[in-house]
Amino acid sequence: MWQGRATTGSSTQGGAEESWTYVIDGVRKTGWFASDFTMAELQSVVLTQAIWSRSTRFDGYPILSVTDLPTILDVKQPSVWLNVQHDIFYKEHGLNMRNYILSIQKNVSVHYISSPELGFLQNISGRVHRKTKLVFSFLDKALLDNSIHRTYGSLLSNLTFVKSIASGIMVPKSYIWPVTKDNYLQQAPTSIVAEAHSAGLEIYASDFANDRIIPYNYSYDPLAEYLNFISDGGFSVDGVLSEHPITASGAIGCFANLNSSKTDHGEPLIISHNGASGDYPDCTDLAYHSAINDGADVIDCPVQVTSDGTLMCMSSVNLLDTTNVQRTPFSSRASVVSEIQATPGVFTFNLTWDDINSSIQPKISSPLSRYYVVRNPRYTNQGKFLKLSDFLAMGMDKDLSGVMIIIENAAFLAKSLGIDIVDSVNAALNAAGYDNQTAKGVLIQSKDSAVLVKLKQQKTKCKLVYTLPSGIGDVSTSSLEAVKKFADAVVVDKDNSVFTSSLDFIIRQNNLMKDLQSSGLAVYAQVFRNEFVSQPLDFFSDETVEINYYFQSFNLSGIITDFPKTVRRYKKNTCTGLGNDMPNYMQAVPIGALDQLLQKFKAQPPSMPPMPTLNASDVVETPLPPVAPRNEPGGSPRGAETPGAPPSDTHKATASTGILFVMVFTALLI
C-alpha cells in the first residue's frame, strides 16, 4: 500500500462515512480510495475476503505497505512483483508512482513491475534496476489503455511495439484458451503464446485460483488447469500468477514431467466410487470406462436388484437419487419403505430391468450442489446402466487389479422380497469366471457385518471389507477384535472420522487411523473429491494437497475416489521419492496450522469435543434372516418373477433351496 492524500474529487457523504467519486479509466466510480488516506489512517482498516468460498475467519488482517514485505516474510530477500494499476489516476492526484518505486529499490528487491498502462512502463523503463522485468498487463480487448489511447485488442496485434517497452506480457488465461458460455474450453487455444514468443516477449497467464469455478474440462482439479498452460512446446507460458502458490509450484516442480504412464496396480490401490462419477453419471458405462482409462486399479459396483430379479450396478437403491425417474410415469410408484429410508422413493425393486434400461436415464450426481457446484452438465443424462454380469465381464477384460462389489440392504431383501443377495452375488461371480482364476481380485464391501459374517462362514476367497460407521474418532480394542473376525479390511469416512474439524478448519487428527493400522487391518479411505468445497481449508482447496497428506501420513491400502485420474497422476509425480530433498510445497501440510494461526487473531473456530469411539456393540449384528418366499405377504413387489430359475446371463437373484423343492413337488402333484 502506498500512502498519499488526494485533494480533488467529489464527496458524497461526510464525516467518518465519507466516500468519494472519481473518474478512473473513463468510468465514474464511488467508494473509498487509498489515495484519500494516509498509511497511519489505514491502520484502522482491515482486509476482508472477496470470494464467497473463503472463510470469513480470515477477515481482519491489516493492510501492508510494500516496505513491510521483507519484514514479515521468512526470506532474506524476497522477490517482489509490483502491479501498478492506475498511474494516471495517481498523477491526477499529485502522487508519483515512478518516484515511489525508485525510492524503495534499495530496501525491496523488485524483480517484476507490471501495469495495464504501457505509458507508465515506458516512463519507468531505464530507471529501474536492469534485473527488473517490465510486464505489460492486458485487460479486456475492448477497453482503452488511456496512457497511449489504444485498445488492448489493437495492442495485441502489435506485440512488436509492446516489446520495444516491456520484456513480457501478462494476459488473463481466457486470452490463451477461451471458454464457452456453458463453461467448457473451446476446441483449440489461441496463438497468443506463440506470437508473444515470436516477438521476443515472455508471457504470463493470470487469474488462477483454486476456489473458483474453472472450466468443466478440468474436473474441478486446479492442478490440471495449471498443467494445461505449462505443457511442452509452443503452448507453454513462462509463468502463472496464482492466489494459491502451493498448487502452481507443485504443477511446475513435480507434475510437469510425470513418471512412466504404465499402471502398476501397487498399493495404495485407486478404487473408483461409482466409476468416475465426478465426470459421468454414477455406475454407467461412461463412468466405468472413464475410470479405467483414468488409471483406476479397481472399479466398484453397488449391487441393486430389480423386480424381475436382475442384479445391476446403481449407486442408490432409490432411483430418485441418480436417475430422471421423477420425470417418467414410474414416479407414481413412489412409496415409503421404512427399512430403507423414511422418505418416499422409487426403488430398483419397484421396476423391471427393462423398465429401467429402456425408459429411465441416468442423472449425474452432484454431492456438493448445496454450494451450487455441479458436475459436467453436458453429460448430465448420458450413459447406459449396467447389469452386474456386464460389469463383471468388463472387470475381467480390462487391465485392472480387480473389482469391488458393494452389498446393501441384505436383511430387507431376504425378509421382504425373498432374495438372498449374498448367494446371488456369489452366483454371478462364479458365472463370470472369477472363482477359477487368481489374476483378478474381488473385494466385497458392506456396512452390514452380517453380510461379511455369512461370506466368512462360506469360506469365500474374496477380500471382505467392512465400512465403518461415519463420525467415529477412535476404536476400542473389543471392536477391533470383533471386526477382525469377519473382515480383512475397513473403509473409513475421511470427511467425518479422520479429523476433528470446526467450520472447515481441522482442529486435530483423531486416533482412528493409527489404531486401525496397528491392528493389522488394511485401511481404505473414502470419498476423495476434486471440488474445492469438499476438503478442509487446511488443504488449500486442492485435492492433490489432500491426497499428498494421506499418502505421506498413512499406510493406506486404497483410496476410493470420484476422480481416479487425479489420484493416478499423483502416483506418477516426480517429487515424493526425493526424501530430504522434497520441496516444501510437496511436504504434508501441518494439520491444525490454520487453526493455530487464527488463534493469534482471537478468531479461531469453536473448540470441538472428542468424537465417539466405536465399540463392539456397534459392530456385531444379528445374522441375516431366512429368505422369505417371494409370493408371501410382504414378499416381492407386484410383477416380480417367481424365484428359483437357474442363473441366466442377467444373474437372476436366487431364493432358498427350500422354495425350489416346494416348486418341484407342486409340479409333480399337478
Condensed to tens digits (0 to 9), the pLDDT of residues 599-621 reads 776 566 677 888 999 999 999 99
Q: What does the DSSP assignment read for 561-629?
A: ES-HHHHHHHHT-SSTT-GGG--GGGSPPPTTHHHHHHHTTT-PPPP-PPPPEE-HHHH--PPPPPPPP
First to last CA, the chain: 96
pLDDT exceeds cutoff 50 at 668: no
Residue among 456, 386, 449 nearest 426 (CA): 456
Of the ranges 28-32, 388-392, 660-664, which is most confident? 388-392
Condensed to tens digits (0 to 9), the pLDDT of residues 77-136 reads 778 999 999 999 999 999 999 999 999 988 888 999 999 999 999 999 989 988 999 999
Side-chain half-sphere CA neighbours of 308 within 13 A: 10
Over range 574-589, report the average pLDDT: 93
Q: Exposed, middle or buried by CB within 10 Å (0-12, 13-18, 19+), for 397?
A: exposed
pLDDT exceeds cutoff 70 at 511: yes
The C-alpha atoms of residue 462 and residue 488 are separated, in whole angstroms, by 10
Q: Give pTM, 2 decimals.
A: 0.90
Q: What is the pLDDT of residue 111?
A: 94
Helix then strand then coil, in percent of the chain rounded to 5, is 35, 20, 45
Which residue type sits at 551? F
Task: Tell me the percentage of the chain whose pLDDT exceeds 70.
Answer: 89
Over range 498-517, report the average pLDDT: 94
Q: What is the pLDDT of residue 73?
A: 79
Q: What is the pLDDT of residue 603?
A: 62
The C-alpha atoms of residue 1 and residue 592 are separated, in whole angstroms, by 31
Across the chain, mean pLDDT equals: 89
Which residue type sits at 116? P
Q: Exposed, middle or buried by CB within 10 Å (0-12, 13-18, 19+), for 40?
A: exposed
Neighbours of 361 (CB within 10 A): 18
Q: What is the pLDDT of residue 15?
A: 43
Phi, psi of 614 (to 5 degrees): -75, 130
Instruction: Return the bridge partners of 358, or none.
Output: none
Residue that is written with C-alpha cell 482498516 in the block: 45
Where do the DSSP E strands lie in 219-345? 239-242, 269-272, 298-305, 311-313
Q: Which of 660 and 111 is assigned the larger pLDDT? A: 111
Number of H helices, E strands in the chain: 24, 25
Q: What is the largest CA-CA distance in the chain?
A: 109
pLDDT exceeds cutoff 80 at 635: no
Banded pLDDT at 17 (limits 50, 70, 90): low
Banded pLDDT at 663 (limits 50, 70, 90): very low
Using H for helix, E for strand and C for coil, what is the string for 186-246? CCCCCCHHHHHHHCCCEEEEEEECCCCCCCHHHCCCHHHHHHHHCCCHHHCCCEEEECCHH
pLDDT exceeds cutoff 90 at 667: no
Over range 345-361, report the average pLDDT: 97
